[in-house]
Amino acid sequence: MKLVQTLTLALLVGTGLVAGGCTTAPTKKEPTYEVADQNAFIPTNRKAAAALIEQVKGKLIADQPLIVGTVVDINALDKSSTLGRLISEQVSAGFSQAGFRMIEMKFRNSVYMKRAEGELLLTREISEVARLHNAQAVIVGSYAVAAEMVYVNLKVVQPQSNLVLGAYDYALPLDGNMRAMLSANR
């Protein structure tokens, strides 16, 4: 009898342990506004814009506009991603907040817009686009995806001469957010 009770107890304890292991895994905690506010992505891109602005001081005319091209994949200069488009938007916002006149290319129908790629500005197109919009400079950039980082290069280029007026390099961690933005709409 004692053996039956011991076996029954062992069976119940074992079943409880197994059943406990079968419960659903805890759900991933949703990010909060506080966590989002502390995310370094936007400040990192704004820091890049500020560094470029500092380099071009005295080289640009205050009331003449600039254009930002979409930051592109360095391995395929005719392709970008959500990441590249968002970097471009945030750098443009940084210049705009610093008082520069920025031309919003998405509202211009005279510039060819490749579907899902944004405002791609390749070297051969820069002079023509800048001339059409009377832009004194174009901000261009590229990114390279490595094992643990995304490396970004931004330049302010004078379109008439292809002279680089300013340049800035930085890295972003290749985390889940970066992977999602790189894989979206590729």
Q: pLDDT per residue over 122-153, tens digit each?
A: 555 666 778 888 899 999 999 999 999 999 99
Report how far apart the first and last C-alpha atoms of the chain are (Å, whole number): 69
Full set of structural domains in the chain with CATH: 40-183 (3.40.50.10610)
Phi, psi of 48, deg, nearest 5: -60, -45
Helix, coil or strand: residue 44 = helix
% of the chain surpassing 70 pLDDT: 74
Q: pLDDT per residue over 58-76, tens digit each?
A: 999 878 999 999 999 999 8
| pLDDT score, position 160 | 85
Instruction: Answer for the pair 150, 118: CB distance below 8 angstroms, yes or no.
Output: no
Q: How far is CA 78 from CA 30, 49, 116, in A?
A: 35, 23, 11
Contacts of 141 (CB under 8 A, 6+ apart): 69, 71, 72, 84, 87, 88, 91, 152, 153, 154, 155
For 68, the token pair is: 């930002």
Q: Which residue did the predictor score with more confidence, 14 or 134?
A: 134
Q: How many CB atoms lie within 10 A of CB 93?
A: 16
* Those residues with Cβ within 8 angstroms of residue 4's Cβ, 6 or more apart along the chain or in another chain: none
- The model's pTM is 0.76
**With 0-12 CB in 10 A as exposed, 13-18 as middle and 19+ as buried, what is 36?**
exposed
Among 105, 167, 90, CA closest to 135: 105
For the cut 80, the answer to whether the pLDDT of residue 43 exceeds it is yes
Spatial separation of the C-alpha atoms in residues 101 and 67, rounded to whole Å: 9
